[in-house]
Amino acid sequence: GQQVMQIPQYQHVQEGEDFTTYCNSSTTLSNIQWYKQRPGGHPVFLIQLVKSGEVKKQKRLTFQFGEAKKNSSLHITATQTTDVGTYFCAGPGTPLVFGKGTRLSVIA
């Protein structure tokens, strides 16, 4: 079945550094979603990308959907301690197909 591979599994950054997580699929995706889970919390929907080459921004977060619609990335500029958590991508399916997540640690 469809799988989405997410890398890296872990990322430790100094506060103020940038961070990127990548999500890759072997098949074309009709859309991709991103979720954030704070430590001890539950996943919260961030955004959905639908169009080839789409780029969306939410403050310091930039989300991209590849031209071939097989990959996506989430980039955080100048990380802050509030960015700590696990970021999951999810491909379409019945039900959604989640990546294993990237856990971000921010060192103040």
Partner 1 sequence: DGGITQSPKYLFRKEGQNVTLSCEQNLNHDAMYWYRQDPGQGLRLIYYSQIVNDFQKGDIAEGYSVSREKKESFPLTVTSAQKNPTAFYLCASSDGTFVSGANVLTFGAGSRLTVL
| Interacting residue ranges for partner 1, rule: CB under 8 A | 30-31, 33, 35, 41-45, 48, 50, 88, 90, 92-96, 98-101, 103
Q: How far is the CB of 79 from partner 1 (least distance, A)?
A: 20
Residue 78 — left, alpha, or beta (φ > 0 → left; ψ -120 to 50 → alpha)?
left
Between 18 and 27, CB nearer to partner 1? 27
Q: How far is the CB of 16 from partner 1 (least distance, A)?
A: 25
Buried b (16+ CB within 10 A) or exposed e, 35-49: bbeeeeeebeebbeb
Between 44 and 78, CB nearer to partner 1? 44
Between 66 and 99, CB nearer to partner 1? 99
Q: How far is the CB of 104 from partner 1 (least distance, A)?
A: 13
Q: Which long-range contacts (CB under 8 A, 24 or more apart) does 49-55 make?
A: none
Between 43 and 77, CB nearer to partner 1? 43
Query: CA gyration radius for the chain?
Result: 13
Compute the distance between CA of residue 21 and CA of residue 83 in angstroms, rounded to an integer.
Answer: 13
Q: How far is the CB of 78 from partner 1 (least distance, A)?
A: 26
